[in-house]
Structure 1
Amino acid sequence: MDHKEFLASLTAEQCRELTETSDRRGLAQLALHFGTVVVLGELIAARVPFWPALMLPQGIALVFLFTLLHEASHQTPFRSRWLNVAAAHISGFLILLPPRWFRYFHFAHHRFTQMPGKDPELAAPKPETWGQYLLHISGIPVWISHVSTLVRNAAGRCEDGFVPTGKRDVVRNEARIMLAAYLTLLLASLAFRSSALLFVWLIPMLVGQPFLRLYLLAEHGRCAYVANMLENSRTTLTNALVRRLAWNMPYHAEHHSYPAVPFHKLPELHRLAAAHLGVTETGYGRFHARYAPEFREVGEAAE
């Protein structure tokens, strides 16, 4: 059964229940995620004992706002549209990823999932050697990509095929506003001789990014180049803490099969789809333990 056949097997009542959005559920999850960032940030800024150790969990919480941006790009975490828009802009700003541009990028990814030459996520190949793997999880390439995207868009040089021609002025203005805001924060920090943003925001994101890279690689890494979402996307069975941190996106094959389902309904969708999932893994550690040893096999095949 492919994802289209699975969706066709759902009743109208099941579809209605699965796609029901909720401001209450979304705000509760948002309060927990943002609350963690704020509390840890306050403790770091206050220089409590052993405060440098808090920068790692702070960084993980910050970079995983990507999963909120991702969810908000689908307009599903909240019933109210303005909450979805606000969540996308705030999370995108904090992780240096322009939300409108990312929405066009992500929709192309959904439309052409695992289709070489069409899926924009495949523009940067998945790591196939230890050197590529270590560079990938370092986060360096993604930070270079984020900054270059902002600068290129702000200069009006966005030529990404997934961005509609008529929306490129919007993408340009978005990038300019973000860069102006970052410059304002920098000048304010210099004026007040404050290092708070450095230790509360920037350094934590640098140390947290490898955890997001490890998480995201499991979504499609080594999945088939086919149109069936139950085979080209991986669902990773993990613990409640990771699911909460990632807004239930470890249920990734389910999300790709039915993107209109909000995060809090994905466990229910998983129960319905579990028997039909083509690619699953029991934990991120097991995924990487299987992924990395194949580097030698790939190299031997190339030779």
Structure 2
Amino acid sequence: MDHRDVIASLTNEERSRLTGKSDGPGLIQFAAHFGAILLLGGLIAAKVPFWPLLMLPQGILIVFLFTLLHETVHRTAFETQRLNDAVARLCSLAIALPADWFRYFHFAHHRFTQDPDNDPELAFPKPETLRQYVVHVSGLPVWWAHFKTLYSNASGGSQESYVPPKGRPKVRAEARAMIALYAAVLLLAFWFKATVLLYVWIVPALLGQPFLRLYLLAEHGRCPMVANMLENTRTTLTNWLVRKVAWNMPFHAEHHAYPGVPFHQLPEFHRLIERHLKVIEPGYVRFHEKYIETLH
């Protein structure tokens, strides 16, 4: 039974309930996620006792805005399209990943998941040696890739096959606007000697990125190169806090099987199709223990 059979087995009532969008759950979770970033940022800026220790949780919350960006490019975080697009822009700026370009990239990933010839995610190979694993988890390559993408998009409008010709002007304008905004923020920071930017945003993001790399590696790492979304994608069972910070994306096989299901309905969808999932891991620590055993 593949993902198409599972979706076909759902009743019309189940499909309607599962794919029902709503602004409420997204606004509540966004308020909690972004509110925590503002709170920690304020405490760091005020240099409360032991404030450097707050930079790690701050960074984790910032880089995990990637999972909110992911939801908003699917336009399933909120019912209102303009709200999805506005929050996508905010997340995009926070992690230097252009939203319009990422939408094209990510939809190609969904169409060709684990297809060696067409899945754009596979252009960034999974680590096969311990050295590659350490470099990958450091997060440094992904920051380089983000800024390289911004430069490439700003100068050429992105020439990747998954970006249609009509989308290239939009991708180019987006990258140029982001670069201009970053330049303005940095100039203002230098002018006013506002080093707080380093401690509230830049250093925390560098510290938090390894945790996002560890999380993302579990989504498809060591999964079969097949078309069945219940087999080429991993669901990782984890605690409530990780699910909240990651906008329920640990239910990743469920998301790939039925991308129209909003984040807040994924636990229910998991309950319905759990018996059909092929690749489930009981936690991220266990996944990485197994992954490291395969390295040479």
| Same fold? TM cut 0.5 | yes
Task: Output the CA distance in 2 between the equivalents of 1:171 and 1:294.
Answer: 38
1:159-203 superposed Cα distances (whole Å, 9 cap, x missing partner) = 111101111011000000000000010011011111111110000
1:208-259 superposed Cα distances (whole Å, 9 cap, x missing partner) = 0000000000000000000000000000000000000000000000000000
Q: Which stretches of structure 1, 4 residues or longer, exceed 2 Å deviation after superposition?
A: none
Name the structure 1 match of 2:201: 201
Which residue identity does 1:105 align to in structure 2? F
2:36 paired with 1:50:
no
Name the structure 1 match of 2:111: 111
Q: TM-score, normalised by structure 2?
A: 0.99
Q: Is the 8 A contact 1:105 1:163 kept in 2?
A: yes
Name the structure 2 match of 1:41: 41
Name the structure 2 match of 1:140: 140
Name the structure 1 match of 2:253: 253
Name the structure 2 match of 1:131: 131
Task: Output the CA distance in 1 between the equivalents of 2:87 and 2:194.
Answer: 27
2:286 paired with 1:286:
yes
Name the structure 2 match of 1:181: 181
Task: Output the CA distance in 2 between the equivalents of 1:188 and 1:295.
Answer: 46
Task: Kindly report which structure 2 residues correspond to 1:23-34, keeping only aligned pairs within 5 A, or say none.
Answer: 23-34=23-34
Task: Output the CA distance in 2 between the equivalents of 1:71 and 1:117.
Answer: 25
Task: Kindly report which structure 2 residues correspond to 1:63-82, keeping only aligned pairs within 5 A, or say none.
Answer: 63-82=63-82
Structure 2 unmatched runs, 5+: none
Q: Is the 8 A contact 1:77 1:262 kept in 2?
A: yes
Other structure's SS at 2:261 match: coil
Name the structure 2 match of 1:154: 154
How many percent identity over aligned positions? 60
Task: Output the CA distance in 2 between the equivalents of 1:87 and 1:161.
Answer: 27
Task: Output the CA distance in 2 between the equivalents of 1:177 and 1:157.
Answer: 13
Residue 157 of structure 1: how far off its partner (Å): 5.0
Which residue identity does 1:40 align to in structure 2? L
Which residue identity does 2:62 align to in structure 1? L
Name the structure 2 match of 1:267: 267
Task: Output the CA distance in 2 between the equivalents of 1:157 and 1:8.
Answer: 39
Task: Output the CA distance in 2 between the equivalents of 1:197 and 1:183.
Answer: 13
Other structure's SS at 2:113 match: coil
Q: Is the 8 A contact 2:154 2:172 kept in 1?
A: yes
Name the structure 1 match of 2:226: 226
Task: Output the CA distance in 1 between the equivalents of 2:65 and 2:212.
Answer: 10
Task: Output the CA distance in 2 between the equivalents of 1:101 and 1:84.
Answer: 15
Q: Is the 8 A contact 2:233 2:253 kept in 1?
A: yes
Task: Output the CA distance in 2 between the equivalents of 1:52 and 1:178.
Answer: 28
Which residue identity does 1:83 align to in structure 2? L
Name the structure 1 match of 2:240: 240
Structure 1 unmatched runs, 5+: 297-303
Which residue identity does 2:210 align to in structure 1? P
Q: TM-score, normalised by structure 1?
A: 0.97
Alignment root-mean-square deviation, CA? 0.6
Number of residue pairs the alignment of both structures matches: 296
Other structure's SS at 1:260 match: coil
1:108-157 superposed Cα distances (whole Å, 9 cap, x missing partner) = 00000000020000001100100000000000110000000001111125
